[in-house]
Amino acid sequence: MRTIRLLLLTFLILAVPAASFAQFGVAITIAPPALPIYTQPMAPADGYMWTPGYWSYGDEGYFWVPGTWVMAPETGYLWTPGYWGWGGDAFSWNEGYWGTNVGFYGGVNYGFGYGGLGYQGGYWNNGGFYYNRSVNNISGSSFHNVYNKTVINNTTYNHVSYNGGNGGVTARPTAAEETASHERHIAATGAQSEHQQAAGKNHALLASVNHGRPAIAATAKPGEFTGHGIVAARQAEAPYKATPSKSAASKKTATRSNGTNGSKPVGNKAAATRTSENKATEKKASATSTNENKAAESKASTTHTNENKAAESKAATTRTNENKAAESKASATRTNENKAAETKASTTRTNENKAAESKAAATRTNENKAAENKASTTRTNENKAAENKASTTRTNQNKAAENKAAATRTNENKVAENKAAKPKEARPASESKPTTAHAQPAPRQQTAPRAEARTKPASHPTTTAHAQPAPRPAKEAPKTEERPQK
């Protein structure tokens, strides 16, 4: 279709004399759409730096290049975004670049640290990049250099995507930005260039298709237009105006050259004929172009509708799959957490039960020991009491037996003494011998020998094995003088 339009344009140019045109130029006279509203995807890892999305221009008009996280080409380098600027008769694109300082990017508020002047999203220090958490979506233990600083953006031209012209940002470069523009620069990396080329081939990113609200507004890594790291625009900031094709030329001036022959114009008929033919050709070409454009627009509209439906269906399927995956992951996480909690609770109960059993066993052991000690003490005391009682009983019995034996011996001794003290009976007179004239007194009767009396104990009942006291010697019987019978 584009080839046919170019051929028709060539035919018209050839049909009109070359002198008819003083100037013929091509320019982009319609401003790019407003920047869409979207959230920043999470940074994939430490070391990645944010490059904001922007509107680029291709054969089919403006298309969105999603913002993405990229690696800097060298340590210490920061990204200066490109921007659209009005040059007095058309818009032109100023390419972005890497440098040690951020230069002028038209005062456009790209967000996420690029508020229109400089960069507030982070800085380099001793070979490491420090992230401002207030404007960067970072999370995880891999980010070691993190700080928080509130950033105030310029909201006067919020979401305006170009500088100058009607409604554009009126910012001008500062002295520092002018200096940064003359420093050593590095062009966009290979990953960034491939990212832009892939966006230009994605029909869904055309402004004429997404109407300023791209389904892929940002990605986690360059060139990755599917998967978990994709972020869609929430809304378009301003209504999108269709952009004319790059081949729609603006005619600046058109002059005609008229030939003369005396006082009468020469070639009026031929000129009139050429004018009529040109008008007929232009009408025919215009009608053909109109019909072709309508057919192309209808086809493009149908194609866009089908692509949008396919993209929405794919996006819905992707979201469903992501939701299912998230639910499965959450369910697995809950299951693991529940198992861990159950295991921990079981371990706790087991430990508590073991502790309780150990405590109960120790208590029983102590109680048993106390009871045994008490019983042993009781038995010892009872045995001692029984032994003391038995000893006292034996002592009392021995004393009673000794007292009884002593009393018996005393009585026997007394009987023996009394018996020994009685006088012997006098002999009969007939047995007495004749005496002399004077009768001699009879000799004294001797008592029992003392030795025999002392040594021969009186008979008494056998006592216990205890030693008995020696018997007291019997008292000598009183001496009596036996008188002779008359």
Angstrom distance (rounded) from CA 105 to CA 113 = 13
Is 80 exceeded by the pLDDT of residue 136? yes
Mean pLDDT of 71-79: 96
**pLDDT for res 8:** 46
CB 42 within 8 A of CB 138: yes
If one counts every other C-beta atom within 10 angstroms of the C-beta of residue 135, the result is 22
Residue labelled with tokens 């009468």: 264
Is 70 exceeded by the pLDDT of residue 479? no
Is 70 exceeded by the pLDDT of residue 62? yes
DSSP track, 150-195: ------TTTT--EESSTT-B-----HHHHHHHTS--BPPPHHHHHH
Angstrom distance (rounded) from CA 92 to CA 31 = 10
Q: Greater confidence, 286 or 129?
A: 129
Reported as a pLDDT band with limits 50, 70 and 90, residue 331 is: low
Reported as a pLDDT band with limits 50, 70 and 90, residue 141 is: confident
Kindly report, residue by residue over 275-297, the tens digit of the pLDDT. 444 455 445 544 554 455 455 45
Angstrom distance (rounded) from CA 298 to CA 308 = 15
Please list the residues that pair with 94 across neighbouring strands.
83
Q: What is the largest CA-CA distance in the chain?
A: 257
Is 50 exceeded by the pLDDT of residue 436? no
**pLDDT for res 385:** 85
**pLDDT for res 36:** 94
Residues of the chain above pLDDT 70, percent? 61
Please list the residues that pair with 93 across neighbouring strands.
84
Cα distances (Å, whole numbers) of residue 209 to 27, 215, 305, 441, 469: 22, 10, 8, 188, 146
**pLDDT for res 245:** 39
3-class DSSP state for residue 99? strand
pTM: 0.48
Mean pLDDT of 172-197: 95
Reported as a pLDDT band with limits 50, 70 and 90, residue 431 is: very low
Angstrom distance (rounded) from CA 118 to CA 58 = 29
Length of the chain, in residues: 486
- The helix or strand, by DSSP H or E, that contains position 49, with its residue range, turns out to be strand 48-51
Mean pLDDT of 45-61: 94
DSSP track, 346-390: HHHHHHHHHHHHHHHHHHHHHHHHHHHHHHHHHHHHHHHHHHHHH
3-class DSSP state for residue 293? helix
Is 80 exceeded by the pLDDT of residue 268? no
CB 217 within 8 A of CB 233: yes
Angstrom distance (rounded) from CA 105 to CA 78 = 13
Kindly report, residue by residue over 190-220, the tens digit of the pLDDT. 999 999 999 999 999 999 999 999 999 999 9
**pLDDT for res 24:** 34
Cα distances (Å, whole numbers) of residue 454 to 323, 404, 438, 467, 473: 133, 22, 39, 18, 5
Reported as a pLDDT band with limits 50, 70 and 90, residue 401 is: confident
Residues of the chain above pLDDT 90, percent? 36
Amino acid at 463: T
